[in-house]
Amino acid sequence: MLGTLFVLASFAADKPACRLYTSGGKPVSYNKMIKELGGADMVFFGEEHNNPIAHWMEFEVTKSLYGIRGKDLVLGAEMIEADNQLILNEYLQGFIPAKKFEDEARLWKNYKTDYKPLVDFAHDTGLVFVADNIPRRYASIVAKKGFEGLDPLSAEAKGYIHPLPIPYDPEVKCYKDMLSMQGMGAHVNANFPKAQAVKDATMAWFILKNWQKGKLFLHYNGSYHSDHHQGIVWYIDKEKPGLVIRTISVVSQKDPDKWDKKNNGLADFIIVVPEDMTKTY
C-alpha cells in the first residue's frame, strides 16, 4: 500500500495535468493566482470548450473565489442564453427541479459533464448565475444580414440583446483576424465577425447589468471572447472603463513545461494543458 501511494505521489509530481503561467510566461502558483483574482471586479475564464482540465479548473477557481468573496461572487456564462434566465432562476431559487430546467432550457451538449457543476454550485450556495449570451437565433440573423437584420425585432426580443445600434470596431484585432479568414470557408463573410461582436456586446451588457461595486463577477466563456483583453472585455472597457479585470486562458501544447512565446499577453494567467489530454466531446 505504501509503495502504491509513493508511485501515485511520484506520478502526480512528474505528470501534472496543467501548468500555470503569468501573462509573460513566468510560472505561478495556484494560490497566488487566486489571491490576485480575488481582488478583481471581474474575472473572465477563457476555456477550451471540450477540455476537461479547463472545466475542472473552472470549478476549482469558483470554489476558491467563493471562499474569498462569499455572497459577493456573481457567476455568469456564455453557455446559457439570456432568454433562459427566467427558468434558470426558477431552478436556482428552488421552484423547479434540475431535470425540469435541463429539459426545457437550450443547453449545450456537454452541459451535464462540464457546466452543471457550476450551476449546481450556484444553486447550493445561493449565488446569482447570469445567463448572458444572445439567443443564438439572433446571432444567426447577424451572421446572415448584419446588425441591420436585428432592427425589425420586437421590443421584447431586443431585450435579450445589447441595445441597438451595436457598437462595433472592425479594427479590433479579434474581429479583424476573423475577417482575414474570408475565403478559407464559405461561412466566413463580412458579417461573420459581427456575429461574434454581437455576442460579446450582449454578454458585456448583461454582465454590467448584474455587477455592482464590491462584487466579483466570474464569467465562463470560450477563450476567444476574452483573449488579449478583447471581445467581451473590450466592450466592458468601452462602457465602464476603469474596472479591475483579470483574465484566464486555457491553451493546449505538446510540452506544458516549456513556455511558448506566442502566448505572451494572451491573458493575465494562462493554463497550459498537454495537447493529448482527453476531450469531453
Q: What does the pLDDT read at residue 101?
A: 98
Mean of pLDDT values over 252-275 = 96
Strands 269-274 and 19-22: antiparallel
Say what the alpha-carbon torsion angle 189, 193, 196, 197 is, to the nearest 10 degrees. -140
pTM, 2 dp: 0.93
Burial level of 92, CB count in 10 A (0-12/13-18/19+)? buried
Q: What does the pLDDT read at residue 185?
A: 53
Chain segment 133-152, per-residue pLDDT in tens: 999 999 999 999 999 999 99
Q: What does the pLDDT read at residue 179?
A: 84
Specify the CATH number for 46-223+232-260; select among 1.20.81, 3.40.50, 3.90.550, 3.30.70. 3.40.50
CA distances from 137 to 63, 162, 188 (A): 33, 15, 18
Q: For residue 263, give the amino acid letter.
A: N
Chain segment 20-68, per-residue pLDDT in tens: 999 999 999 999 999 999 999 999 999 999 999 999 999 999 999 999 9
Q: Is the peptide bond before 274 cis (omega within 30 degrees of 0)?
A: no
Chain segment 180-228, per-residue pLDDT in tens: 875 545 467 889 999 999 999 999 999 999 999 999 999 999 999 999 9
Mean of pLDDT values over 5-24 = 70
Q: CB 274: neighbour CB atoms within 10 A?
A: 17
Q: What does the pLDDT read at residue 13?
A: 57
Q: Kind and range of the H or E element at 214?
A: none
